[in-house]
Amino acid sequence: MRVIPIENMFEAAGCEDESSGQVPKLDLPLVRRNFLKGSGVLMGTLATGSVLATLAPSTVWAVELKTLSRAEGEALMKMGRVLYPHKKLPDAVYALLAKDLDAKAAGDAGAAKMLKDGIAALNEAAGGSFARASEKKRKEIVKGMEGQPFFATVRGQCITSLYDNDMAYKVFGYPGSAWEKGGYITRGFQDLKWLPAPSLEASPKPYL
């Protein structure tokens, strides 16, 4: 997989509700043009005006697939959206699901067959193209596959592919590692004001 990785440089300062520091640029999963030789390429753009778009060096993203076709990758992205429907998560995050499943398929013929067969079953149930079926229809189809190994593999992969990346951190407002900034001892660990404060006996003052 020749994807320029999303580097772990998306620091806490850039996240919502964090006040200090400059905003770092977000690296999107971009593939260099001359590397685009795989079986399929997923591409898209971040919606202009979205939080992510203001941080990314470019609003264009692309993910190269090695084993799965572009249509298969798109079906997986749509299935990811049915399983974990987040309006605020851009397609670029669901493309990571396709990328990670493609990587699984590239190293394991059995996994590749299971994924390709599963996607074919999605399309068949949709009477042609799962990706182009209505949202309601897609939901019914996925629900109908619950319990099958294909479903379990895709759903399980979603947990790390969708929720353990810098774009998801940003969207959900999770800054990740904080020690580089000295933790939260002087950065709002007890800044909640909408409830009565505990007594000093229950919660002594911090040692500064």
Partner 1 sequence: MAKFDFNDGSVVVIIGSGAGGGTLANELCQKGIKVVVLEAGAVQSPATFINDEWKSFGQLAWLDPRTTSGSWRIAKDFAGLPAWICKTVGGTTTHWAGASLRFQEHEFKVKTVYGDIKGANLMDWPLTLQELEPYYARAEDKMGVTRTHGIPGLPGNNNFKVFHAGAKKLGYREVHTGNMAINSQPRDGRGRCMQLGFCFQGCKSGAKWSTLYTELPKAEATGNLDLRPESHVARIEHDDKGKVTGVVYFDKAGKEQRQKARIVCVAGNSIETPRLLLLSASSMFKDGLANSSGQVGRNYMRHMTGSVYAAFKDPVHMYRGTTMAGIIRDEAGHDTKRGFAGGYEMETLSLGVPFMAAFLDPGAWGEDFAWWMDHYTHMAGMWLVGEDMPRETNRITLNPNVKDKWGLPAPNVHFDDHDNDVAMRNHAFAQGEKVYKAAGAIRTYRTPPYPSTHNLGTCRMGASPKDSVCNKYGQTHDVANLFISDGSQFTTGGAENPTLTIVTLAIRQAEYIAKEMAARTI
Nearer to partner 1, 35 or 84 (CB): 84
Closest CA to 44 of 69, 71, 63, 70: 63
Asked if residue 191 binds partner 1 (CB under 8 A), the reply is: yes
Which CB sits closer to partner 1, 4 or 172?
172
Q: Is 176 in the site for partner 1 (CB under 8 A)?
A: yes
110 in contact with partner 1 (CB under 8 A):
no
Which residues are paired to 64 by β-bridges? 41
Determine if 184 is a binding residue for partner 1 (CB under 8 A).
Answer: yes
| Single-letter amino acid code for the residue at 112 | A
Pairing type for strands 60-65 and 40-45 reads antiparallel
Closest separation between CB of residue 109 and partner 1, Å? 23
Question: 117: which residues sit within 8 A by CB, 6+ positions away?
Answer: 150
Stretch that binds partner 1, among 24-32, 61-69, 101-109, 179-187 (CB under 8 A): 179-187
**128 touches partner 1 by CB under 8 A:** no
What ranges in 28-148 are assigned the alpha helix state H?
Answer: 51-55, 70-83, 91-106, 109-125, 135-144
Q: Classify 16 in phi/psi space as left (phi over 0), alpha (psi -120 to 50) or beta.
A: beta
The answer to whether residues 24 and 55 touch, using CB atoms and an 8 Å cutoff, is yes
Instruction: Find the binder of partner 1 among 1, 50, 53, 84 (CB under 8 A).
Output: 84
21 binds partner 1, rule: CB under 8 A = no
- Residues near partner 1 (CB under 8 A) are 8, 16-17, 83-86, 88, 155, 158-160, 162-164, 168-169, 172-179, 182-185, 187-192, 194-198, 201-207
